[in-house]
Structure 1
């Protein structure tokens, strides 16, 4: 499934001050786990679940499948590096699997794997593991040395407001434990150095997305006012994009257009287009419901895809917002439960 969710300014974890490795938590036994061929997966491919079977559908319109029965959910596929992340349930436990350099690395000690982020080069995974309720540890697994390490920081990271900038740098929003400094930070995984990029003096950040050299983020002040902003990492400039967004589940940036799955101020949750400072609703009553937790994706033609249903979430379809004329149509050929495969 595509792990993109709405976030809230709730601080979940203190990252450990200690740096350690957990070699015994990672397995790369080729006899136990065989490297998968996902080379046919493209933008717009999806996971499809129905009647107890999981399939990967490569082309929704032609209903072309990769196989009839997959053993797990494909989360992310990096075509350039031929690496992937998938999730497999075994003995009532969720396993996170990183496939890289023709080897599968099975991380099987954690029952609750959240918000996994595959690095641009496809050899590292940044993720959180829950220790206790509302208490998680964030760290990185590196397939080159088969080791997991926690971040060396005392920053309280809020929700899943983090992601890779490049293969050695992570960006996140949080609060310093001692100084109470509130902002967006850059962390170098090689040197373990942390740098403040942007000081948030009022309120908190509810959503963050890294788009090239820019960070799109939604702030909320103490009076409940919301601002959607863009921060340019290269020149440290902040641009206010709109005051009309109430919350965000997912976004896609295409040149000067931002597609937002979320809620407009004084409005309902839907798919919106932000262009030239104006927010336009794109989806009304077709379908009746949008599955907000599944996010949005784009296909090879640049159309925006989302998942919705009329009466039951067990009978979902994939819908397409056509880029040429803005019409909405059903792209899938059968109902069931869908999730997007993130590709890069």
Structure 2
């Protein structure tokens, strides 16, 4: 993999400022269960597949499943501005992040949680973002803001779906942006600093049952831009130091460390084929300046760029999923407002277009 890249103009001071501005203090808001009455989400008898494609139409949202190298319609849901969807077929849990505009023209996002026949709406804050669900699908982790411009962060928050309550996170760590993940069903990890403690920029671990916080990884070489948990003891870290990016593998149990590449400046979506120990992600290449599909062999830690001209640009916000054969489903775009769905055949190392016309598509996967 070529590793020559363009120089970035962003200074370290600016990066620090942006990281701190994206951080937030622990939440002190009241329980979300005190919000508006439950309202149903009309998804009817739609049988969500392992990979769902949502296409936003003017008067409804069309849902598709992947059938080989084609899309099959599976149903429609209301024409809400759905910003995100997380679901578990097995637990009959569907979580929608929905953009709302109130009567005064103010943006006020809602999180709609549908489980079985019941729907709960969380709309206490103006803006919610970056929802991540626990492996057992019992809890969601997200961050919230008091303003539509996301300049007044309230912190990361956890909501227990089964018990219909918020789990308070007791921490002094100012979490940097959306750099947080579920480690397992009881633990989350996040990168941040403690404002009155020098050299406190670490990745921390928090147990949601005991409320215990500890340092998970403290050997970072720069500012942490993104993290991905491979297993309870293994993690990928993308960091930046003096405009040099490094994607590195860490085993916190054994202390093993492996530099994977210096050619990636952003990671926006990650999926893992655990059976074949392969990881796929959408990343920004310093070499090309655009977003592409990449893979990492977790046996050798070899990183490979999989897409170049088809498509020329991978949609960094289009989603990422694996089909039952282990092929990679992703979106590519040639314009600002429309994209297409592609499939990367892992057996033949080839990419195919599977949509007939460009539209507003988003890929979601069963958790």
Report the TM-score, using the length of structure 2 for normalisation. 0.81
Q: What corresponds to 2:224 in structure 1?
A: 205
Is the contact made by 2:341 and 2:354 (CA closer than 8 Å) also made in structure 1? Answer: yes
Q: State the aligned residue count.
A: 332
Q: What corresponds to 1:4 in structure 2?
A: none
Residues 95 and 224 from structure 1, CA distance in 2 versus in 1: closer, same or farther, beyond 3 angstroms? same
Report the TM-score, using the length of structure 1 for normalisation. 0.86
Q: Which moved more, 1:90-99 or 1:119-128?
A: 90-99
How far is 1:334 from its partner?
Answer: 3.8
Q: What corresponds to 1:302 in structure 2?
A: 326
- Listed as ranges, the matches of 1:245-256 within 5 Å are 245-254=264-273, 255-256=276-277
- Residue among 315, 331, 335 paired with 2:354: 331
Q: Which moved more, 1:325-334 or 1:38-47?
A: 38-47
Is the contact made by 1:244 and 1:279 (CA closer than 8 Å) also made in structure 2? Answer: no
Q: What corresponds to 1:156 in structure 2?
A: 174
- Secondary structure of residue in 2 paired with 1:67: strand
Runs of 4+ in 1 over 4 A off after TM superposition: 34-39, 89-92
d(CA) in 2 for partners of 1:119 and 1:101? Answer: 18
How far is 1:194 from its partner?
Answer: 0.4
Is the contact made by 2:112 and 2:122 (CA closer than 8 Å) also made in structure 1? Answer: yes
d(CA) in 2 for partners of 1:38 and 1:168? Answer: 32
d(CA) in 2 for partners of 1:26 and 1:316? Answer: 36
d(CA) in 1 for partners of 2:231 and 2:42? Answer: 30
How far is 1:37 from its partner?
Answer: 5.5
Q: What corresponds to 2:236 in structure 1?
A: 216
How far is 1:186 from its partner?
Answer: 0.8
Deviations 1:90-149 (A, max 9, x none): 554432111235421111223321101122222322111112443312211223332224
- Secondary structure of residue in 1 paired with 2:162: coil
Give RMSD over aligned pairs.
Answer: 2.6
Given the alignment of the two structures, is residue 262 of structure 1 paired with residue 271 of structure 2, yes or no? no
Q: What corresponds to 1:47 in structure 2?
A: 54
- Secondary structure of residue in 1 paired with 2:183: strand
Given the alignment of the two structures, is residue 15 of structure 1 paired with residue 54 of structure 2, yes or no? no
How far is 1:322 from its partner?
Answer: 0.8
d(CA) in 2 for partners of 1:24 and 1:40? Answer: 28
Given the alignment of the two structures, is residue 273 of structure 1 paired with residue 264 of structure 2, yes or no? no
Residues 54 and 39 from structure 1, CA distance in 2 versus in 1: closer, same or farther, beyond 3 angstroms? closer
Deviations 1:142-194 (A, max 9, x none): 23332224411000111101111222211111112222311111101122110
Higher strand share goes to which structure? 1
Is the contact made by 2:271 and 2:321 (CA closer than 8 Å) also made in structure 1? Answer: yes
Gaps of 5+ in 2: 1-14, 103-107
Given the alignment of the two structures, is residue 129 of structure 1 paired with residue 144 of structure 2, yes or no? yes
d(CA) in 1 for partners of 2:361 and 2:45? Answer: 18
The structure showing larger relative contact order (alpha-carbon pairs under 8 Å, at least 6 residues apart) is: 1
- Listed as ranges, the matches of 1:1-344 within 5 Å are 10-11=19-20, 12-16=22-26, 21-23=30-32, 25-27=34-36, 29=38, 32-34=39-41, 36=43, 40-59=47-66, 61-72=69-80, 73=82, 75-92=85-102, 93-132=108-147, 133-137=150-154, 138-180=156-198, 181-213=200-232, 214-221=234-241, 223-254=242-273, 255-269=276-290, 270-275=292-297, 276-310=300-334, 312-344=335-367
Gaps of 5+ in 1: 1-7
Residues 327 and 202 from structure 1, CA distance in 2 versus in 1: closer, same or farther, beyond 3 angstroms? closer
Residues 153 and 83 from structure 1, CA distance in 2 versus in 1: closer, same or farther, beyond 3 angstroms? same
